[in-house]
Amino acid sequence: MKVSSLLLALFCIAGIGQRVSAEPLPKAIKSAPCLKPPTIDGVFEADEWRDAKVYDFDMEMLSLNPPGKSSRACELRVMNSANSLYIGFRVPDLKVNNSLDPLDFDLATLAFCRGKELVTGDDRKLIAPGLYADKHFVVPNKDGDDKKKDGRGAVEHSKGVHSFEWAIPLDAGDTEDIQVKAGDTLRFNLAYFDSFKFDLKDTQAGSIFGGDLNKADTWGTLELAAKVAKDDGSAFKGPAWVSEFFKKQTGPAKRLRVEDSVLLPNLAKPAVKTLLSFTYRDTEGKEKEAKAAIYFPAAVRDDPKLRLPLYFVAGYETDDNAAMAFVRRGFTVISPRALEANPLIRTAAPDFARMHMARALSFVDDAHVLIGGGSAGGYMTLMVAAETFPIAVAMPDVPPVNWGYNAAYFFKQLEKLASPKGETVSKVPVLNSVGSMLLAATKVFGDDFGDATWYAHSPVSQVSTITCPVSVWWTTADVLVPVDQVAKKFVKEFAASKFPTGFTMDPEKLLTTKQGRTRLMDVLPPNDYDLFERTVPEGTLKLGAPPGTGKPYTAEMPLSATKQWSIVILDEGPPEPNVGHAKYAVNLNRDKAIDHFAKTSKIAVTQLTPEKLARLMDRYAGKEWLPSKLKQLDEPESEKADVLRGLRTYVKAGEEHAKQFAELYGKLPKEKRVLEATVVSELGGR
């Protein structure tokens, strides 16, 4: 069940309609004329809500686990112009809850009803710490994300009070939003959840009009001010300086185009999220557009010398909460967004280009670049690590390392995974869903899973050029990324009777070529890694089990003191049909490693090897470096600039680094020595 569905169901179960509040909110709310839009940052400035009508009232809060009732003194402010509605809401709450893993967060949902009863498409706007979501009612206990995200929202916590602010267009031309004009009246409600958890332990919930979010008959009405003018729309625009700031970037970073920006709430120092677009070259070498989001402290505007470690989110889009956790630790974070296809389908080209641009930003310390991602994002983490130099650390979670093997495992068995006759659910539901979704990859890479193209785009073929530290983990129970592609010795035999007849994870049965059957441990030198085998403790919560039947397992990822690769194999027992990546609720964090690689670590001399330098020279010369029919090079000038940036960063790390470059460059074949003489001299070469 989705979180949004749980939130709706909670109101239905709790029956929040029996108000005993001494000071209830009037059922008819009148919006005041707005003369100047507020800044939507969760902070109630002295003058920005001066025009609004202020409603002070008591809101009843109910809890289920354990049962209880309480009341909180709240405040509601409402005003509108001819084009926008602004709502402010304040509620006492002594503690900020903003964790998604495990789920535990505070949030407020603003709900509208255009008629007397709710219909599909009625608008909902959700705010949580670091999160604004534009949603709509679908059916009772279910809402959906709008195709087009409209409006703004933010929350700030100060002196024991949460302050929520919404800016909502009266008519954004979106049928999943309100479509009204000044002077209209519509039904609405506003719900608040304190410490929402899946098991509802210590969760409290209340709504300003009571009632059920599935039904609008007990809601109040909002009458919009009629005789008002249009405002300047400033509440929907980010800080004006951000666009100008990015226009001044140089090198590959000047390709980043600002689409929008917003101030981030709940941070000790102001920070900004900026939505970007950029062009890259697709698998045929043609120009194509991609999108990204970057998070950074506003201080970079005023301090041109400020350099921050970069956390590069590979493959999948991250959410604001996860990104803000890194921003609080002093990072700049860049993530893909609005993805058109799974990372395993679209190839690494847009991630390569995004990395070139991110490292060139004036406020990024490219001696401390960290890469991370899970599943297909973990695969992308390793591919970007193979291309980029230098990297502080690569941190993939459960990555496919032989894409040809994983593709054969997915696609050769799709017929076996289909739902049996007379049934609607596959025997292996998660694998069936993911395999079907990724089938489009065959149009990109072909249908010979054991050939050179699939292998070239697999981390197992790039081990010699992944020269940075790597912290990675897999689990024995993974059904999506079988551990058999790492090493056969980790395989736990599964119960064949639980899976479709003939189902296999064995590379020897799925493929005939050596490339298709290659495992990571076949190509990773034993002296390059430390292996840490861990067993899930007894009593750990099994995924899908009812709450209270165990506890999540949390542990710090071990980090080798001397080896390049730190590999964790988590023994969860054999794969089971209903498992995705993991069987148990496991949180392997890298807090110590992240702090080390972001702050105190230095680039190892050994990051530059003959193979890595040869790769860099191919990139500099505009030569495709993967033996593949597919293109992956970025724009020529960006490739050159990124290679030079990396080499300059490396040789500045110390005399031994400059010496290593000089020796390795001198040993390259003549045709590989493509740097200009002045550049070679600058880098300490001969």
369-413 confidence digits (pLDDT tens): 999 999 999 999 999 999 999 999 999 999 999 999 999 999 999
Paired sense of beta strands 28-30 and 220-223, if any: parallel
Whether 495 shows a pLDDT value over 50: the answer reads: yes
What would the mean pLDDT of 126-135 be, rounded to a whole number?
87
Longest Cα pair distance anywhere in the chain, in angstroms? Answer: 86
- State the pLDDT at residue 20: 33
Give the tens place of pLDDT for each residue, 437-452. 999 999 999 999 999 9
Q: Which residue has the tokens 């590379």?
A: 507
Q: Which residue has the higher pLDDT, 551 or 11?
A: 551
Residue 81 and residue 144: Cα distance in Å, rounded?
Answer: 28
Per-residue pLDDT, 239: 82
Q: Is the bond preceding residue 38 a cis peptide, omega within 30 degrees?
A: no
pLDDT value at 9 more than 60? no
For 474-480, what is the mean pLDDT? 97
Least confident of 1-10, 17-26, 515-524: 1-10
Cα–Cα distance between 577 and 494 in angstroms, integer?
9
Neighbouring residues of 646: CB distance < 8 A, sequence distance ≥ 6: 359, 366, 388, 389, 390, 616
Mean pLDDT, rounded, for 123-148: 90
Would you say 536 and 587 are in contact if contact means Cβ atoms under 8 Å apart?
no
What average pLDDT does the segment 633-659 reach?
A: 97
Residue 229: pLDDT above 80?
yes
Average pLDDT over residues 663-685: 94
What digits encode the pLDDT tens for the residues 332-357? 999 999 888 999 999 999 999 999 99
Is the model's pLDDT at 572 over the cut of 90?
yes
Least confident of 52-61, 231-240, 385-394, 577-586: 231-240
Label the pairing between strands 565-571 and 470-475. Answer: parallel
Cα–chain-centroid distance for residue 253? 21
Close Cβ partners of 318 (under 8 Å, ≥ 6 residues apart)? 293, 333, 335
Are 231 and 170 in contact by the 8 Å Cβ rule? The answer is no
**Where in the chain are the domains?**
3-235, 617-682
Q: In Å, what is the CA distance from 188 to each residue of 134, 207, 213?
A: 15, 11, 10
Domain 3-235, second-level architecture: Sandwich (2.60)
Where does the pLDDT of residue 251 fall: very low under 50, low under 70, confident under 90, or very high at 90 and above?
very high
Neighbours of 341 (CB within 10 A): 14
With cut-offs at 50, 70 and 90, classify the pLDDT of residue 567. Answer: very high
Distances (CA, A) of 603 to 235, 463, 648: 44, 18, 12
Nearest partner of 356 among 613, 672, 646, 676, judged by Cα = 646
| Alpha helices (runs of H) in 375-528, residue ranges in sequence order | 376-387, 403-411, 414-417, 429-437, 441-445, 452-456, 507-510, 514-517, 520-523
Range 628-656 average pLDDT: 96
pLDDT confidence of residue 266:
57
Task: Give the residue-averaged pLDDT of 480-496.
Answer: 97
Please say if the pLDDT value at position 3 is more than 50. no
Residue 16 clears pLDDT 70, i.e. is over it: no
Long-range contacts of 501-505 (CB under 8 A, 24+ apart): 501/416, 502/416, 503/413, 503/416, 503/417, 503/428, 504/413, 505/409, 505/575
SS3 label, residue 510:
helix
pLDDT digits (tens, 9 = 90+) for 73-126: 999 999 999 999 999 999 999 988 877 656 788 999 999 998 889 999 999 999
**What pLDDT digit, counting tens, does each position of 286-320 carry?**
999 999 999 999 999 989 999 999 999 999 999 88
Rounded to a whole number of angstroms, the distance between the first and last alpha carbons of the chain is: 64
pLDDT for res 347? 95
Q: Encode pLDDT of 161-209 as tens digits.
A: 999 999 999 999 999 999 999 999 999 999 999 998 877 888 999 999 9
Q: Where are the beta strands (DSSP E) in 140-223?
A: 142-145, 152-158, 161-169, 185-196, 204-207, 220-223
Q: What is the mean pLDDT of residues 249-260?
A: 96
What's the mean per-residue pLDDT of the chain?
91
Q: Residue 13: pLDDT above 70?
A: no
The band of 462, judged by pLDDT with boundaries at 50, 70 and 90, is very high
The predicted pLDDT at position 440 comes to: 95
Contact between 313 and 369 (Cβ < 8 Å) = no
Q: Is the predicted pLDDT of residue 130 greater than 80, yes or no?
A: no
What does pTM read for this prediction?
0.80
DSSP H or E run through 309: strand 308-313
Q: Which of 64, 220, 61, 216 is nearest to 140 (CA)?
A: 216
Q: Is the peptide bond before 66 cis (omega within 30 degrees of 0)?
A: yes
Query: What one-letter code names the amino acid at 271?
Result: A
The yes-or-no verdict on residue 482 having pLDDT over 80 is: yes
Q: Is the confidence at residue 151, as pLDDT, over 70? A: yes
In this predicted structure, what is the pLDDT of residue 101? 58
Whether 469 has a pLDDT exceeding 90, the answer reads yes
Q: What is the mean pLDDT of residues 231-236?
A: 91
